[in-house]
Amino acid sequence: MAFNIAIDGPAGAGKSTIAKKVAKELSYIYVDTGAMYRAMALFFLREGIAAEDETAIIQACDRINVTLSNENAEQQVFLNGENVNGWIRTEEVGTMASRISIYGKVREKLTQLQREMACTTDLIMDGRDIGTCVLPKAQIKIYLTASVETRGKRRFLELQAKGEDCELEKICEDIRKRDEQDMNREISPLRQAEDAVLIDSSCLTIEEVVEKILELVRRCSSH
């Protein structure tokens, strides 16, 4: 049976940075499920389909094929055969991904693909519903969080380093809005699984969080 590590948590908690490092240490595949929701969001944006238009979204789902591949240890996301890695990291796509992730048809499509991958491959998968819904039997589950202020400040510094114009208060406001959306949707809302280990990264370095997870893996493997 494949060994699966599930990491859930709110936007900006550092899931992908940490999951990538843990995956490298263990030589596991890293699966970023947010990127899959972002690829679907990009399709709807390009087609001019509004997030509220449930009928159009459900109909369009049958025309969307999202696949992943791993190249040079980096996940590549394909939307109907096109590599869209370069298109999915904007705020616009992130917000749209959160808005369309409320629909059952969207979630079913991606959940199925995620489960198929986890069945045969040792992997670390991050998202919002991995421990609670996608991989309820994952050997290790982590709920990684941090305060809104910490997440906002990290994002602010990231954007500043890229030379982008930004305002800390506005970033914190966007984070609060995204939390609210992801935690309060009807289907598979973001929440900590009962058997998940809670890690608050507000006062921890990336290395400290990675070490905590590796320690959990070592303990689990020695049983």
Evaluate whether 117 touches 2 at the Cβ level (below 8 Å): no
Q: Which CB sits closer to ligand DC, 46 or 177?
A: 177
User: Which residues of this protein are in contact with ligand DC, per CB under 6 A?
Assistant: 11, 33-34, 37-38, 94, 97-98, 101, 127-130, 178, 182
Q: Which CB sits closer to ligand DC, 52 or 223?
A: 52
Q: For the chain, give the secondary structure using H, E and C.
A: CCCEEEEECCCCCCHHHHHHHHHHHHCCEEEEHHHHHHHHHHHHHHHCCCCCCHHHHHHHHCCCCEEEEEECCEEEEEECCEECCCCCCCHHHHHHHHHHCCCHHHHHHHHHHHHHHHHHCCEEEEECCHHHHHCCCCCEEEEEECCHHHHHHHHHHHHHHCCCCCCHHHHHHHHHHHHHHHHHCCCCCCCCCCCCEEEEHHHCCHHHHHHHHHHHHHHHHCC
Structure tokens at 100: 């369309």
CB of 127 to ligand DC, least distance (A): 2
CB of 9 to ligand DC, least distance (A): 9
Q: Which CB sits closer to ligand DC, 14 or 34?
A: 34
Q: Which CB sits closer to ligand DC, 10 or 217?
A: 10
Q: Which CB sits closer to ligand DC, 130 or 210?
A: 130
CB of 38 to ligand DC, least distance (A): 6
CB of 11 to ligand DC, least distance (A): 5
CB of 129 to ligand DC, least distance (A): 5
CB of 218 to ligand DC, least distance (A): 26
